[in-house]
């Protein structure tokens, strides 16, 4: 019997778009600007960039390499490489934990994405135009306390995500990112232009790039490291699953640089689309998660073109969320497909599980917070640590060299050194910190 041809992306560029789509999401537009705001701005951005370079990029190369070599879902790819190198089956667990982490992230991610969809609707209807800040804040609080409102938007977002994934890798995810990503970039450029013309651009620039290390707490360094994982979609097999469909044998190093640079540039541009508007309206950016859902609509509400550009902004956020959420369930779907369960059934089944978790997140904010906390601070760093150790220490360096497609030179040696020593050490620090916080929290409740 003939083996079916392996599923691959149309080209290396589709892979880059899909992986960038996974990386660029609520993390860049919702989380990054507010944690930058909360942690003092410039110095935080610098530490975050260092984390991307020293932990994010090396681990991403490792993940794609494992996926492309294993050519399967994260569990089977890890198992195959482990078997080949004489390792134990336990390594397969890394893929398994990652798949579960993906579903857990989806359980709160789709709720926030639902808010963004609701805001597209509100902005397009012009409901924020001329509204005063108290009204806008009251609306957000109303949304947060209305289970039924959130349920509608959460369900709609979950359904759209599942529909894209169910349509397949090339025809669903690949097609979607080929349309969504250029659109996302276009919207972002327009918004940065609008912000440059109508906002206080220099205040925004100063805020993001003035480095005052005295304002940087130890906690901020750890938050920056955790965010490097979250924003690059690392530690849970999303990028590994996408890597399994990587066509050909091009160097992974260059591809990863492109993805990491795009993700970082988009996070910085998102900041430049938001902060100047916030400052021009005499508002402050250090207000936490409400930055995007309260401060920014307040800014748009009293600016010319606010209805159009506000709508554009929330459409941008929704697109970014969708191109990420599809990668949260793909690893699990790929695994179920490998068990001969049809793709449609796998996708809607996993989508339903995530949807139920989302309903719990809507109703119990403690569930929402716990899912966010456990995935970002424990599961992703743990997954990343294990992947770094697996590729850095378990696999044969010659095989690794061959499979990354990199030249055998100083760049490869530097990558391997960072992967073996620097990244695990950095991740361990984040991880222990999270555990420390964890026990402190527990002590608080005892």
226 near ligand PFF, judged by CB under 6 A: no
* Smallest separation, CB 308 to ligand PFF (Å): 25
Query: How many residues in the shown chain lie near ligand PFF by CB under 6 A?
Result: 16
* Smallest separation, CB 16 to ligand PFF (Å): 15
Alpha carbons 194 and 307: distance in angstroms, whole number: 13
28 near ligand PFF, judged by CB under 6 A: yes
User: CB-wise, 112 or 362, nearer to ligand PFF?
Assistant: 112
Binding ligand PFF by CB under 6 A: which of 230, 300, 309, 390?
230
158 near ligand PFF, judged by CB under 6 A: no
Sign for the CA dihedral angle at 127, 133, 135, 141 comes to positive
233 near ligand PFF, judged by CB under 6 A: yes
* Smallest separation, CB 408 to ligand PFF (Å): 31
Percentages (nearest 5) of helix, strand, coil residues in the chain: 80, 0, 20
Tokens representing 436? 């420390």
Binding ligand PFF by CB under 6 A: which of 14, 22, 39, 82?
22
User: CB-wise, 98 or 306, nearer to ligand PFF?
Assistant: 98
Contact segment (CB under 6 A) with ligand PFF among 21-29, 175-183, 271-279, 302-310 equals 21-29
Tokens representing 17? 């778009």
In angstroms, what is the C-alpha Rg of the chain?
21
105 near ligand PFF, judged by CB under 6 A: yes
Alpha carbons 39 and 21: distance in angstroms, whole number: 26
351 near ligand PFF, judged by CB under 6 A: no
Binding-site string for ligand PFF from residue 304 to residue 343, where x marks contact by CB under 6 A and - marks none? --------------------x--xx---------------
Q: Cβ(69)–Cβ(81) under 8 Å?
A: yes
Q: Cβ(373)–Cβ(423) under 8 Å?
A: no
Sign for the CA dihedral angle at 144, 150, 153, 156 comes to positive
For residues 84-103, which are near ligand PFF according to CB under 6 A? 102
DSSP letters, 142-176, are HHHH-HHHHHHHHHHHHHHHHHHHHT-IIIIIIHH
245 phi-psi bin (left φ>0, alpha ψ -120 to 50, beta other): alpha
Binding site for ligand PFF (CB under 6 A): 22-23, 25-28, 102, 105, 230-231, 233, 236, 238, 324, 327-328
């Amino acid at each position: 019997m003939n083996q079916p041809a392996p599923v691959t992306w149309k080209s290396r560029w589709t892979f880059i778009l899909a992986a960038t789509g996974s990386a660029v999401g609520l993390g860049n537009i919702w989380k990054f600007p507010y944690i930058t705001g909360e942690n003092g701005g410039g110095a935080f951005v610098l530490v975050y960039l260092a984390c991307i370079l020293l932990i994010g990029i090396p681990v991403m190369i490792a993940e794609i390499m494992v996926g492309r070599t294993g050519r399967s879902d994260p569990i089977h790819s890890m198992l195959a490489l482990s078997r080949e190198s004489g390792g134990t089956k336990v390594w397969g667990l890394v893929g398994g934990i990652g798949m579960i982490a993906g579903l857990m992230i989806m359980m709160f991610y789709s709720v926030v994405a639902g808010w963004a969809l609701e805001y597209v609707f509100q902005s397009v209807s012009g409901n924020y135009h001329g509204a005063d800040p108290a009204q806008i804040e009251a609306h957000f609080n109303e949304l947060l306390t209305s289970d039924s409102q959130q349920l509608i938007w959460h369900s709609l977002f979950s359904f759209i995500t599942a529909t894209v994934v169910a349509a397949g890798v090339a025809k669903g995810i690949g097609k979607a990112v080929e349309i969504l990503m250029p659109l996302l970039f276009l919207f972002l450029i327009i918004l940065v232009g609008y912000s440059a013309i109508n906002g206080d651009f220099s205040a925004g620039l100063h805020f993001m790039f003035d480095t005052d290390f005295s304002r940087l707490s130890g906690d901020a360094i750890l938050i920056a490291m955790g965010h490097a994982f979250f924003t690059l979609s690392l530690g849970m097999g999303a990028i590994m699953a996408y890597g399994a469909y990587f066509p050909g044998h091009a160097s992974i190093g260059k591809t990863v640089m492109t993805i990491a640079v795009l993700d970082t540039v988009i996070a910085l541009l998102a900041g430049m689309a938001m902060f100047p508007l916030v400052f021009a309206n005499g508002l402050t950016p250090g207000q936490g998660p409400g930055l995007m859902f309260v401060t920014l609509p307040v800014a748009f509400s009293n600016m010319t073109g606010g209805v159009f550009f506000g709508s554009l902004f929330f459409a941008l956020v929704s697109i970014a969320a969708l191109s990420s959420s599809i990668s949260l369930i793909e690893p699990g779907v790929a695994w179920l497909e490998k068990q001969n369960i049809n793709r449609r059934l796998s996708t809607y089944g996993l989508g339903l599980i995530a949807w139920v978790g989302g309903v719990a997140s809507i109703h119990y904010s403690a569930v929402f917070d716990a899912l966010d906390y456990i995935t970002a601070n424990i599961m992703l760093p743990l997954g990343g640590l294990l992947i770094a150790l697996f590729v850095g220490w378990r696999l044969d360096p010659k095989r690794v060299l061959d499979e990354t497609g990199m030249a055998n030179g100083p760049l490869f040696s530097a990558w391997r050194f960072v992967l073996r020593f620097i990244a695990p050490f950095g991740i361990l620090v984040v991880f222990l910190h999270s555990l420390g916080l964890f026990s402190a929290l527990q002590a608080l409740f005892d």
